[in-house]
């Protein structure tokens, strides 16, 4: 049971949504956006989050778009992970989000919720960072389209009241070779011990990680090491372990040693699958 009470609204336009957020904020109360609402419900039940007003973005048409528009794939923030996979609009993203949670949960979990999650995993961010995705966000009357990279540093850096509307991907990335590998503790369903997504663009491997450090990341240094064909693959992978952006997570899902062992093996699989030999 959620112990606190809140007001709930499902506005049907961006303007209504933003006006409501600002109105609540001006009264000194806490408003919170939700998309799928699953993280809000589980966090609220355990008193990890509080809000006076919940603003559900599912009713905003722009947040439900899932289509090819000119040369872009456009995905609304309130689109469920299963819809993304089933649409097959962008198979790399579809394959990665298919590894998140379980099939039933993916009917409710949205891409906007996953990207903005307070948890450390946010696995849908991995392919998006690799394909230079852009995001459409709105705050007040200001709608802007910016690179995801410019807003994502360990987590989404939206300012208070800013709403993620859409994710936009250049369709030229659709045909590129990709791989998405996730390893969990003991079943297919679970948070990642290690999750790695990779894509090959102009013979250069791009790689992003979740579950390794306590935030998802893509790193220029690591990509330079993995693309250095003068060094044997096993040495490149050893070098990657020494160049992670922060320490490896050490928790009940997996000790630091276990995670680094799994990471090495996953990277070997990635290099082999993507034919990144010496």
Ligand X SMILES: Cc1cc2nc3c(=O)[nH]c(=O)nc-3n(C[C@H](O)[C@H](O)[C@H](O)COP(=O)(O)OP(=O)(O)OC[C@H]3O[C@@H](n4cnc5c(N)ncnc54)[C@H](O)[C@@H]3O)c2cc1C
- Catalog residues that contact ligand X under the rule CB under 6 A: 32-40, 57, 77, 100-101, 105, 108-110, 112-114, 116-119, 121-123, 158, 163-164, 191
Q: Is 253 in the site for another protein (CB under 8 A)?
A: no
Single out the residue of 71, 160, 188, 202 in contact with another protein (rule: CB under 8 A).
Answer: 188
Number of residues that bind another protein (CB under 8 A): 39
Which DSSP string do the residues of the chain spell out, in sequence order? ---S--EEE--SSHHHHHHHHHHHHHTT--EEEESS-HHHHHHHHTTS---SEEEEGGG-GGGG-EEEETTEEEEETT-BHHHHHHHTSSHHHHHHHTTSS-HHHHTT-BHHHHHT-SSS--TTHHHHHHTT-EEEEEETTEEEEEEHHHHEESEE-PPTT-EEEEEEEEGGGTTS-EEEEEE-SSSSSS--SEEEEEEEETTEEEEEEESSSSS-EE-HHHHHHHT-TTS-HHHHHHHHHTT-SSPPP-BTTB-HHHHHHHHHHHHHHHHHHTT---
112 binds, among ligand X, another protein, none (CB under 5 to 8 A by kind): ligand X
Q: Is 186 in the site for another protein (CB under 8 A)?
A: yes
Q: Is 95 in the site for another protein (CB under 8 A)?
A: no
Residue 127's φ and ψ, nearest 5 degrees, are -65, -30
User: How far apart (Å, rounded) are the C-alpha atoms in residues 202 and 236?
Assistant: 20
In the bound complex, what is the minimum distance in angstroms from residue 278's beta carbon to ligand X? 34
Single out the residue of 47, 50, 61, 102 in contact with another protein (rule: CB under 8 A).
Answer: 102
In the bound complex, what is the minimum distance in angstroms from residue 167's beta carbon to ligand X? 10
Count Cβ atoms below 10 Å from residue 48 Cβ, excluding itself. 11
| Residue 118, H or E segment | none
In the shown chain, the binding pattern of residues 73 to 92 toward another protein, with x for contact by CB under 8 A and - for none, equals ---------x----------
Q: Is 42 in the site for another protein (CB under 8 A)?
A: yes
Q: Is 243 in the site for another protein (CB under 8 A)?
A: no
User: How far apart (Å, rounded) are the C-alpha atoms in residues 66 and 188?
Assistant: 27
Rg (Cα) of the chain, in Å, rounded?
19
In the bound complex, what is the minimum distance in angstroms from residue 250's beta carbon to another protein? 23
In the bound complex, what is the minimum distance in angstroms from residue 10's beta carbon to another protein? 8
Question: In terms of CB distance, is 45 or 69 closer to another protein?
Answer: 45
Single out the residue of 189, 224, 234, 268 in contact with another protein (rule: CB under 8 A).
Answer: 189
57 binds, among another protein, ligand X, none (CB under 5 to 8 A by kind): ligand X
In the bound complex, what is the minimum distance in angstroms from residue 259's beta carbon to ligand X? 15
What is the distance, to the nearest Å, from the Cα of residue 69 to the centroid of all Cα atoms in its chain?
Answer: 22
16 binds, among another protein, ligand X, none (CB under 5 to 8 A by kind): another protein
Single out the residue of 49, 87, 91, 108 in contact with another protein (rule: CB under 8 A).
Answer: 108
**Positions in the binding site for another protein (CB under 8 A):** 1-11, 16, 20, 23-24, 27, 36-38, 41-42, 44-45, 53-54, 56, 58, 82, 101-105, 107-108, 186-189
């Amino acid at each position: 049971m959620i112990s606190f009470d809140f007001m709930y609204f499902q506005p049907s336009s961006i303007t209504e949504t933003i006006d409501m957020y600002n109105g609540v904020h001006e009264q000194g109360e806490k408003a919170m956006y939700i998309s799928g609402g699953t993280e809000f419900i589980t966090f609220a039940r355990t008193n990890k989050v509080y809000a006076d007003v919940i603003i559900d973005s599912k009713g905003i048409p722009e947040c439900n778009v899932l289509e090819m528009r000119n040369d872009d794939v456009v995905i609304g923030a309130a689109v469920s992970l299963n819809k993304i996979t089933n649409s097959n609009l962008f198979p790399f993203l579809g394959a990665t989000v298919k590894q998140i949670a379980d099939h039933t949960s993916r009917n409710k979990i949205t891409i906007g919720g996953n990207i903005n999650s307070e948890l450390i995993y946010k696995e849908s961010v991995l392919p998006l960072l690799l394909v230079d995705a852009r995001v459409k966000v709105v705050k007040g009357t200001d709608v802007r389209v910016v690179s995801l990279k410019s807003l994502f540093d360990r987590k989404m850096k939206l300012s208070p009241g800013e709403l993620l509307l859409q994710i936009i991907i250049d369709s030229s990335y659709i045909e590129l070779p990709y791989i998405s590998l996730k390893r969990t503790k003991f079943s297919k369903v679970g948070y990642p011990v290690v999750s790695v997504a990779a894509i090959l663009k102009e013979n250069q491997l791009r790689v992003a990680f979740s579950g390794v450090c306590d935030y998802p990341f893509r790193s220029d240094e690591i990509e330079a090491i993995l693309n250095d064909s003068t060094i044997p693959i096993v040495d490149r992978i050893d070098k990657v372990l020494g160049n992670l952006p922060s320490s490896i997570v050490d928790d009940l899902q997996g000790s630091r040693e276990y995670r680094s062992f799994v990471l090495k093996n996953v990277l070997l699989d990635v290099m082999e699958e993507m034919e990144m030999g010496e």
